Chain A
Amino acid sequence: MPLVGDVQERRGPPGAAVDKATADAYWRKTSGLMWTMLIIWLLAGFVVHAFAPSLNEIHFIGFPLGFYMAAQGSLIIFVVMLFWFAKRQNAIDEEFGVEEE
């Protein structure tokens, strides 16, 4: 007895939802987005803070910039990049016709 709505979905059509060529192209583009995000993450999470001592010489809305980046700047970048990622990945899904029905 199926207890859950999504049991049917999981047992859904055994055949592929999309053909192989589309799936591969979709995955290439998805991986590309993943690497882009990972590079931004690396820059905002690590690289920029390696320059904190020199950035602290610059002042930004009353803060030393090095401190500001670690306390707020990188966090804002993370939040914005995640909303952008969700939007971008949804667009890729639709482009290849693999979004959820």
Chain B
Amino acid sequence: MSDTPAGKSQGGDFLSNLGKIYGWYTGGFAGFVIFLAILEQIGVPNRIIGYLFVFLTIGVYALIGYLSRTAQVSEYYVAGRRVPAFYNGMATGSDWMSAASFIGMAGTLYLLGYDGLAFVLGWTGGYVLVAILLAPYLRKFGAYTVPDFLGARYGGNLARLCGVVVLMSASFTYVVAQIFGTGIIASRFLGISFEVAVFVGLAGILVCSMLGGMRAVTWTQVAQYIILIIAYLIPVVLLSAKVTGVPVPQLMYGQALEQIETLIATKPALEGARSHITPFTTYDPLNYFGLIFCLMVGTASLPHILMRYFTTPSVRDARQSVAWSLFFIFLLYFTAPAYAAFAKLEVFTNVIGTPISQLPAWVGIWSDIGLVRIADANSDGILQFREFTINADAIVLATPEIAGLPYVIAGLVAAGGLAAALSTADGLLLAIANALSHDIYYRMIDPNANAKRRLIVARILLICVAIVAAWVASTRPAGILAMVAWAFSIAASGLFPALVMGVWWKRTTSAGAICGMIAGYGVCLFYLIGTQYYAMPLWFGVRNISCGLFGIPAAFLVTYVVSLMTQAPSQSMQDFIDSIRTPRGGVRLVEGERALD
């Protein structure tokens, strides 16, 4: 193969020196931030610092992508199955945490208080399901894509096709939102128009993934995780040190919560503000727990996450790797509520109830670009709670200014948000393009295609999907952004029952699984579209963001009933299931199925 030297060097030197390489990388990044801080002190304009942040980080990702180029099919699809559990955990962390987690989550918590914690719980607890129900078994099977497993377990292309349809519906809206997020950040910090920024972001995404597929995406995502977690922690650590004197925001924001509650009870200007800690003020318990459930099951069904566990060297590493993934995700998610609490305390103490002429400087900066709105409704010159609105995205972005930190920290936050959006977009694009090139093209259209041809098709499809996604994002589709939260319910209803029952219940038949996937996906879409666009009344008052609450049971039930009505799977299928349940030994493929190559 043309890249054997690169392949060998990755297998040998690169893998054994990972700690050293990423250690130097982290040190280099810290040095870079300090260098920019010095530049700022000597009077280099903010705009230049923003440019340096954006282009240097994208440049590093591109370099990693270029160095990881490959011409081998297994390197392209599953990074040669050589990614250690710890690093795969980091890569999964940045694959998972999108612009919405990085920028939006703290804002949601600010606005919703306790009820916003449904997202914190839902987006972490799902990894328990990944670890115990799916990841080790999918790794043992040795798939390249999630539909690959469905095709093998449920005998053929119909099940594979159903899997691809669900995957596309869940992942495409999601990737559009990531490219949209990239465009927003790039346009804000580069001062270029949003439409141009979208294509700058697109270039950043493509250089990471096109030449090296999963291998390149893996090592870029590890690099992106390091930047995003540093960028997320530093501002709030400094803010906590300033407000409470202790630089551990995760422990100290309890005090802030208490002060917020006292202010709400005593400060007249805060009339109308809801308690930050009282449960079920926005969602009733059914919707709160329904949302957590759908987000958790959805996490365990999203193909771009599941496919990360195909890259570990062994089943044992796959299990370990899920634990590391959750640990790295936890670092950000247990910090997000601290952002919300400190920002709220600042707003309630120093903004609300203050004469409008004497508001802190950061309020002016963010109201200039429309993320903060002030309207003196009763014309008393004093800002009331009801006269102040803040966009959810402003919480994380404004924290450096709230804490009175230099501009370099704001640039760091932008670089972190960009890393979060780019890494998730990479993973999603690869999941979509791989399903098209491997499952549709290779498995269904041209099973005799050779390795070279398959990789060419994979890359062409990757570029096509990326361009279509960027084009959709550049039209600023309001509808699509609202649909992102739906991706979880769609993936959960369409894929989860077929995947879990395929491993855990031998009696599941092909007909059962296919009917179940269609039923789950159908019920979910029917409820979503009906309630969203045709004013269909809600069932039991369940919001359509949690439509998986109907789709998931429907899929399980249909799979169960149809399986019992059809003939039990053959002995060779049962042997196949036994072989993916045990870590030792080869996978016994059912007659007629071809080994993966």
Residues of A near any B CB (own CB < 8 A): 2-7, 9-14, 16-18, 23, 26-27, 30-31, 33-34, 37-38, 41, 44-46, 49-50, 52-53, 56, 61-64, 66-68, 70-72, 74-76, 78-79, 81-83, 85-86, 89-90, 93, 97-101
Contact = CB atoms under 8 A, between A and B. Distances in A.
A78 B578 contact: no
A89 to B, nearest CB: 6
Q: In the complex, which of the residues A6, A46, A63 has the most CB atoms of chain B within 10 Å of its own CB atom?
A: A6
Contact of A37 (B120, B128, B254, B581): B128
Contacts of A6: 74, 81, 142
A75 B296 CA distance: 13
9 contacts: A10-B586, A44-B125, A53-B279, A62-B254, A66-B279, A78-B326, A79-B323, A83-B327, A85-B323
Interface string B490-522: 000000000000001000000000000000000
Nearest to B322: A82
B132 A75 contact: no
B319 interface: yes
Contact of B279 (A34, A52, A86): A52
Given A37-B132, A82-B323, A100-B316, A46 B289 contact: yes
A54 to B, nearest CB: 10
Main secondary structure of the interface of A (DSSP, over half): helix
B234 interface: no
A77 B142 CA distance: 30
B585 A83 contact: no
Contacts of A13: 585-586
B257 interface: yes
A47 to B, nearest CB: 10
B595 A61 contact: no
A10 B142 contact: yes
Contacts, number: 185
Given A99-B316, A99-B584, A45 B596 contact: no
Contacts of B121: 45, 49, 70, 74-75
A10 B587 contact: yes
A61 B136 CA distance: 37
Contacts of B136: 89
Contact of A90 (B252, B258, B319): B319
Given A10-B587, A56-B279, A79 B582 contact: no
Contacts of B81: 4-6
Contacts of B254: 61-63, 68
Contact of B586 (A11, A41, A64, A66): A11
Contact of B289 (A31, A37, A49): A49
B362 interface: no
Given A75-B121, A97-B584, A100-B315, 11 more contacts: A5-B80, A6-B74, A13-B585, A31-B504, A45-B296, A49-B288, A52-B279, A72-B337, A75-B124, A78-B128, A99-B584
B102 interface: no
Interface in B541-597: 575, 578-579, 581-589, 595-597
A38 B385 CA distance: 43
Given A14-B588, A67-B277, A70-B120, A82 B128 contact: yes
B211 interface: no
B131 interface: yes
Contacts of B285: 50
Interface string B170-181: 000000000000
B73 interface: yes
A62 B337 CA distance: 14
A98 B60 CA distance: 42
A30 B140 CA distance: 15
B125 A78 contact: yes
B131 A85 contact: yes
B199 interface: no
B225 interface: no
Contacts of B142: 6, 9-10
A61 B248 CA distance: 13
